[in-house]
Structure 1
Amino acid sequence: MWNCREDWLIIFIYVLSVFPLVCFSANFVPIDNYLIDCGSHTNTSIGSNLNFTSDTFFKNFLSTQEDILANTTLKSINSTTDFSPLYQTARIFISSSKYTFPINKKGRHWIRLYFFPFSYQNYNLSAANFAVTTEHNILLSSFSVPKKNPVMKEYLVNVTLDTLVITFTPSNNSTAFVNAIEVVSVPDDLIADDAIALNPRREYTGLLTDAFETVFRLNMGGPSVSSSVDPLHRTWVPDTSFLIQPNLATNFSSIGAVKYAKGGATENIAPPSVYGTLTEMNSDGDPRSNFNVTWKFDVEPGFQYLVRLHFCDIVSKGLNELYFNVYITSLLAAKDLDIGEKTHNTLATPYFMDFVTTPSVDNKILVSIGPSDVNSDYPNAILNGLEIMKMNNSISSLSASAAVSLPSSHGSKSKKVGVIVGVSLGIFCALVAMVGGFFVLRKRRRQLAQQGDSKTWVPLSDGTSHTMGSKYSNATTASAASNFGYRFPFAVVQEATNNFDESWVIGVGGFGKVYKGELSDGTKVACKRGNPRSHQGLAEFRTEIEMLSQFRHRHLVSLIGYCDERNEMILIYEYMENGTVKSHLYGSGLPSLSWKERLEICIGAARGLHYLHTGYAKAVIHRDVKSANILLDENLMAKVADFGLSKTGPEIDQTHVSTAVKGSFGYLDPEYFRRQQLTEKSDVYSFGVVLLEVLCARPVIDPSLPRERVNLAEWAMKWQKKGELARIVDPTLAGKIRPDSLRKFAETAEKCLADFGVDRPSMGDVLWNLEYALQLQEAVVKGDPEENSTNMIGELCPQINNFEQEPSVSVEQSEASSLDDLSGVSMSKVFSQLVKSEGR
Structure 2
Amino acid sequence: MGCFKFDLFIWVLSLLCLGLLCSGFVPADNYLIDCGSLANTTVGNRVFLADNLASKYLSSPKDVVANVSLKPITSFDDSPLYQTARIFPESSKYTFSISHSGRHWIRLYFYPFVFGSYDLSKAKFSISAQNFALLTDFSVQNTTLKEFSVNVTSDSLVITFTPSSNSFAFLNAIEVVSVPDQLITDDVSSGSEKFQGLMNQALETAWRVNMGGPIVSFENDTLWRTWVPDQSFLVNENLAKDFSNIAAVKYDVGLATEDIAPQTVYGTLTEMNSADNPNSNFNVTWEFTVDPGFQYLVRFHFCDVVSKSLNQLYFNVYVDSSNVAPDLDLSTMTINKLAVPYYLDIVTASIVRNKLRISIGPSAVNNAYPNAILNGLEIMKMNNSAGSLSGTNSVSFSNSSSKSNVGVIVGASVGSFIAVALAGVLFVLCRRRKRLADQGHSKTWSPFSMNGTNSHTMGSKYSYGTTASAASNYSYRFPFGVVQEATNNFDESWVIGIGGFGKVYKGTLNDGTKVAVKRGNPRSQQGLAEFRTEIEMLSQFRHRHLVSLIGYCDDKNEMILIYEYMENGTLKGHLYGSGHPSLSWKQRLEICIGSARGLHYLHTGYAKAVIHRDVKSANILLDENLMAKVADFGLSKTGPEIDQTHVSTAVKGSFGYLDPEYFRRQQLTEKSDVYSFGVVLFEVLCARPVIDPSLPREMVNLAEWAMKWQKKGQLEQIIDSTLAGKIRPDSLRKFGETAEKCLADYGVDRPSMGDVLWNLEYALQLQETEIPGDAEENSTNMIGELSPQINNYSNVDTNDSAVQFEVSSVDDLSGVSMSKVFSQLVKSEGR
Q: Which has the larger radius of gyration?
A: 2
Q: Taking structure 2 as the reference length, what is the TM-score of the superposition?
A: 0.47
Q: Taking structure 1 as the reference length, what is the TM-score of the superposition?
A: 0.46
